[in-house]
Amino acid sequence: MEEKKVVIQQRFQILDDKQRKEYYHAKNPTNYAIKVQVACDFCHRIAHVSECYHGSIHDITVLRESGLLKHVEESVQIIGDKGYIREEYVVTPRKKPHGRELTQDDKDFNRDINSARAAIENISQRLKTYAILGGVYRGPVDDFHKITKIIQVITASCNLNLNKHPIRR
């Protein structure tokens, strides 16, 4: 599962303080973003695209509200980053215990999880090759339904492209 941020460009004079806080995202070069969460299967296909959210919404909130957790169970789980620790049905890398080192088993587990996540990061990189996702979005930022549809079309196109040019087998 990979969180995708669509960077937005908005004239700062138009944004009031409430709007700035809603779209603020500290990890973005412009500090303002719209978030969407993308989930992939092990065949490296995009299987789920969430609705759009303001950049200030936490990743775990997007996951919980996306409906994706309804489709998981003990045998079908989600691989996520450390932002999803302690979420049921989400497998995450193990954190180093305070004042101690990770055991070799934990290191091996993290290596396996991070290897699986690398393919997801590659898909995220492929999505960014589409200019509307890889650059600054200049469309209306208040129409989340339209932005979600744009992202769904782009992810479908990316899946078709992945059929022709797979990441790895």
What is the 3 state secondary structure string of 30-79? CCEEEEEEEEECCCCCEEEECCCEECCCCHHHHHHHHCHHHHCCCCCCEE
Domain residues of the chain, as ranges? 2-164
Contacts 24+ apart (CB under 8 A), 125-133: 126/158, 126/161, 126/162, 126/167, 127/4, 127/38, 127/154, 127/155, 127/158, 130/154, 130/157, 130/158, 132/6, 133/4, 133/6
pLDDT at 36: 86
pTM of the model: 0.73
Select the more confidently predicted residue: 15 or 53: 53
Beta carbons within 10 angstroms of residue 78's beta carbon: 19
- Average of per-residue pLDDT across 70-83: 81
Select the more confidently predicted residue: 7 or 114: 114
- Average of per-residue pLDDT across 144-158: 90
Select the more confidently predicted residue: 165 or 4: 165
- Average of per-residue pLDDT across 115-132: 84
